[in-house]
Amino acid sequence: MDILLQQIINGLTTGSVYAIVALGYTMVYGVIQLINFAHGEVVMIGAMVAFTVIMALAGAGLPLPPFAIVLAGVLAAIPVCMALGYLLERLAYRPLRHAPRLAPLITAIGMSIVLQHLALLIWGRDPRAFPQIMENTSFAIGGTGGAAISSVQIAIILLSLALMAGLTWFVYRTRFGIAIRATAEDVRVAALMGVDADRMIAATFVIGAALAAVAGVMVGTYYGIAHYTMGFTLGLKAFSAAVLGGIGNLAGAMLGGLLLGLVEALGTGYISEITDLCRWPLIGDGGGLLTERCAADGHVVLFGSNYQDVFAFLVLILVLVFRPSGLLGERVSERA
């Protein structure tokens, strides 16, 4: 199997999900310069709601095609998440818009703890197996010895691209989108021009939450599992993706998401090979310190694929250190 090609396919799949979640972070940040810390939990709730609906429909024995069942799950998750996004904005952000920056961050953490444990209360502590009703056919790429791409992967990538295109059209071509961008540019001036700034800010939360709902279903179907803690790491990675691309920038979030997915997949795919001490001269080969162990085991892997989650954080730290404004972001001056 061609590892490189396979990891690129896997990376593009997870990367599209990161991109969709990252859009939610970046839109909110673009408008009010705050990190919506609870965004990851919205993704989780989306996955859970969809899971419940899909389970119910699949168990009811109706003669529905699998595609329709998953679609019903998505359509149920979207309004729930949108309501949740609105609620978050009203409860955790709007009252604190003029408070010190730290305050909304703490309320967001509070909300995210509450959401996580509400989910724990409703859906239980154990991971829920997402019903695999979609027929997951694999297509071979590059002939024998090539890689495989599954229909779920194709669906995720295509749907993400469609969502990204749709959002871009919405933000750049509709009146509503222009109003959102005006608010992001300058809340006060936008208000003077007749834009209802409060409504626009709430709208970014709601739109981000709708995207999060779709992302939640994608993750659930892809990994086949949903868990009340799944939102946290996913949210953190998506945030890293948004920062990587340049937070506040839509195209940046998309690019950052895909790049982060690729880095993570390739890193995970190759790290054990790279850090196999037996392949290193002086240490493993001939006369090295580990000759005996290498002869016995064949490999002495320093870092295996269990370090997968480290990559996203490493990328985040490196980006912030060397290019704090991200790949496509403009330089942000310090707020006085």
Partner 1 sequence: MSRKTIGIVLVALALLALPLVLTQVGTAWVRIANLAILFIFLSLGLNIVVGMAGLLDFGYVAFYAVGAYTWALLASPHFNLHLPFWAILPIGALFACVAGALLGAPTLRLRGDYLAIVTLGFGEIVRIFMNNLSAPFNVTNGPKGITRIDGLAVGGLDFRATDRFLGIDFTGPAKYYYVLLLLLLFVIAVNLRLQNSRIGRAWVAIREDEIAAKAAGIDTRNVKLLAFAMGASFGGIAGGMFAAMQGFVSPESFVLHESIMILAMVVLGGMGNVWGVIAGALLLSFVPEFLRYTVEPAQKMLFGRLLVEPEVLRMLVFGAALVLTMRFRPAGLWPESWHKREMREGEAA
When asked if residue 288 is in the footprint of partner 1 (CB under 8 A), the reply is: no
Which helix (H) or strand (E) segment is 206 a member of?
helix 197-223
When asked if residue 277 is in the footprint of partner 1 (CB under 8 A), the reply is: yes
Residues 173-192, interacting with partner 1 (CB under 8 A): none
Amino acid at residue number 133: I
* Total site size for partner 1, rule CB under 8 A: 52
Cα distances (Å, whole numbers) of residue 188 to 97, 198, 202, 336: 13, 11, 16, 17
Identity of the residue, 179 or 241, whose beta carbon is nearer to partner 1 in the bound complex? 241
Identity of the residue, 176 or 232, whose beta carbon is nearer to partner 1 in the bound complex? 232
Contact 117, 82 (CB under 8 A): no
For partner 1, which stretch binds (CB under 8 A), given 46-54, 130-138, 204-212, 312-320?
312-320
Instruction: Give the closest residue to 41 by CA, choosing from 250, 221, 207, 238.
Output: 238
Identity of the residue, 55 or 310, whose beta carbon is nearer to partner 1 in the bound complex? 310
Task: Bin 81: left if φ > 0, else alpha if -120 < ψ < 50, else beta.
Answer: alpha
DSSP 40-57: HHHHHHHHHHHHHHHHHH
Give just the sign of the alpha carbon dihedral 322, 328, 330, 336: negative
* Residue whose structure tokens are 């609906």: 53
When asked if residue 95 is in the footprint of partner 1 (CB under 8 A), the reply is: yes
Residues 212-251, interacting with partner 1 (CB under 8 A): 232, 236, 239-240, 243
**Site track for partner 1 across 117-146, x = CB under 8 A:** xx-xx-------------------------
Residues within the interface to partner 1 (CB under 8 A): 34-35, 91-92, 95-96, 99-107, 109-114, 116-118, 120-121, 232, 236, 239-240, 243, 277, 293, 300-304, 306-307, 309-310, 312-314, 316-317, 320-321, 324, 334, 336
